[in-house]
Amino acid sequence: MKRKHLIVIVGPTGTGKTSVSIALAKHFNTEIISSDSRQIYKGLTIGTAAITPDEMDGVPHHFVGTLDVKQSFNAFEYERAALRILEDRFQEHDVLVMVGGSMMYIDAVCKGIDEMPDVDLKIRHKLKERVAKDGIESLWQELKEADESYYNSVDLKNPARVIHGLEVFLTTGKPISSFRQNQVKERDFLITKLGITLPREQLYKRINKRVDRMLKEGLLEEARTFYPFKEYNALKTVGYRELFDHFDGKIPLDEAIRLIKRNSRRYAKKQLTWFRKDDSTQWFSPFEVERMLHYLDL
């Protein structure tokens, strides 16, 4: 019996992954599973460059605009939900396409993710209060003493990640790193990864132009709509975060725009570094769909 096949399209923001995924999905007459941790939220359309109904061109999409921004959703939950969708849609298709730039979401489906223990919500609330009052830096030393391995690998500027490391330790008495086995889970379908990239100068120009386009399309107004929800994790995102600082009077608008472009470029660099670590990924430019199809040979 022929095994089912998942084509996973990865790469930095702004490289044209969306258009590639549509082209491949139409070729195989199949569906697309989004692996973007922000496009999954309703209303975050402009700031996340979420695909529009017109751009979908009739191709069914999953995990686009399905959650309220108040809802929390992590990579472990995504793994379970995505595997259910894959199992269901593989009943009708031999090939499915997954596309996105959220590194943890993609790894959760392709490699599996370790299940984390439930945490004490009172502890989480107290840690959030400390961050709100004293800043994320106030937790760094405590996290380092609790779990130096996690401390050395985590993004210390990301409050959700820092809080999670501490709340697991304070709830269980064990470091979060002790729950990570890093064992790749077997899947009952084949996985082929296609990386999409561009020369750095070209990519950075595209990112800068995309930010300008977002502003013309109404990013400022969209951010104002979600300003009351800025403390939710869904809004701690490049594009919204900088504009919220502007709304708070911390920086002028032109500085917020400059930071959005800079932080988007930095995130693209981080994505590329992460995805390049996987030797199984074959890299293409977004204009090489025919070469991708030849490589897939399905």
- Retrieve residue 134's tokens: 């004293």
- Retrieve residue 170's tokens: 């304070």
Q: For residue 117, give every residue at least 6 positions away whose Cβ sits within 8 Å of its Cβ, in sequence order, or none.
A: 168, 171, 172, 179
Q: How far apart are CA 151 and CA 166, in angstroms?
A: 10
Q: Are 127 and 167 in contact (CB under 8 A)?
A: yes
Looking at residue 156, its pLDDT comes to: 85
Instruction: Tell me which DSSP letter residue 251 carries.
Output: S
Looking at residue 1, its pLDDT comes to: 63
Neighbours of 284 (CB within 10 A): 19
Q: How far apart are CA 5 and CA 27, in angstroms?
A: 14
CATH 3.40.50.300 in the chain, residues? 5-113+183-222+267-296
Q: How far apart are CA 245 and CA 239, in angstroms?
A: 11
Please tell me the CATH code under which domain 121-179 is placed: 1.10.20.140
Backbone dihedral angles phi then psi of residue 96, each to the nearest 5 degrees: -130, 155
Tokens 């009943």 correspond to what residue?
A: 91
Q: For residue 25, give every residue at least 6 positions away whose Cβ sits within 8 Å of its Cβ, in sequence order, or none.
A: 31, 32, 59, 97
pTM of the model: 0.84
Q: How far apart are CA 231 and CA 241, in angstroms?
A: 10
Instruction: Name the β-bridge partners of 8.
Output: 98, 193
Q: For residue 250, give every residue at least 6 positions away whose Cβ sits within 8 Å of its Cβ, in sequence order, or none.
A: none
Q: Are 33 and 82 in contact (CB under 8 A)?
A: yes
- Retrieve residue 53's tokens: 């109904």
CATH 1.10.20.140 in the chain, residues? 121-179
CATH architecture observed for domain 5-113+183-222+267-296 = 3-Layer(aba) Sandwich (3.40)
Q: For residue 199, give every residue at least 6 positions away whose Cβ sits within 8 Å of its Cβ, in sequence order, or none.
A: none
Looking at residue 182, its pLDDT comes to: 65
In the chain, which stretches have pLDDT less than 50? Answer: none
Instruction: Tell me which DSSP letter residue 286 carries.
Output: T
